[in-house]
Amino acid sequence: MNTNSKDKLRVLTLAALFTAMTTVATLLIQIPTPTKGYVNLGDAIVNLGAWVLGPVYGAAAAGIGSAIADIVSGYVIYAPVTLIVKAAMAAVSGIVIRSAGKSAAPLPARIAAAASAEVIMIVGYALFEALLYHSFSAAMLGVPANAVQGALGAAVSVAVYSLLRKRVIH
């Protein structure tokens, strides 16, 4: 097997692993929100996957893993928007990290990437819930819970990346 094939296999294997980890982290703790969604730990893995895999494979792992968690948990109505929102989060997070120009993903870049991703999550779900409930006011009920989820996901991903980098990233 040549180096290029080994690299592709490594990336696909990591993408599958991050898809599964995103699903598990999302299912691990689910705190219901007023808009019938739930707060979870999946965003931490969404960011980590984007930073390790890059924007394309990270987006695929994040969107698919998160959507699977919605389907398995009975939040099927959220699955299509989750696929889009979580993929967009990872794509933006991965792009921000790549734009830092360093493979080590320095702390300020990780914070900016995670914050950018979480803003996409909060706005994306608010827009979806405004359409779902035909009410912008009703959608705003979910914003505080999504902000908590975003802050938790950002903090965990920023903190854990240094440990992950030593084990997974060369």
Phi/psi of residue 24, nearest 5 degrees: -65, -45
The per-residue pLDDT for range 27-50, each reduced to its tens digit, is 999 998 888 888 999 999 999 999
Q: What b/e readout covers 113-125, taking b as 16+ CB neighbours within 10 angstroms?
A: bbbbbbebbbebb
Residue 169 has pLDDT above 70, yes or no: no
Beta carbons within 8 Å of 101's beta carbon, 6+ residues apart: none
The per-residue pLDDT for range 90-100, each reduced to its tens digit, is 999 999 999 98
Please give the structure tokens belonging to residue 8. 């592709």
The whole-number pLDDT of residue 127 equals: 97
- Could you give all domains of the chain from N- to C-terminal order, each with its CATH number? 3-168 (1.10.1760.20)
Beta carbons within 8 Å of 42's beta carbon, 6+ residues apart: 22, 23, 25, 26, 65, 66, 69, 86, 153
The per-residue pLDDT for range 13-27, each reduced to its tens digit, is 999 999 999 999 999
The whole-number pLDDT of residue 96 equals: 96
The per-residue pLDDT for range 79-132, each reduced to its tens digit, is 999 999 999 999 999 999 999 876 667 999 999 999 999 999 999 999 999 999
Q: Are the beta carbons of 92 and 117 closer than 8 angstroms?
A: yes
Number of helical H runs and strand E runs in the chain: 7, 2
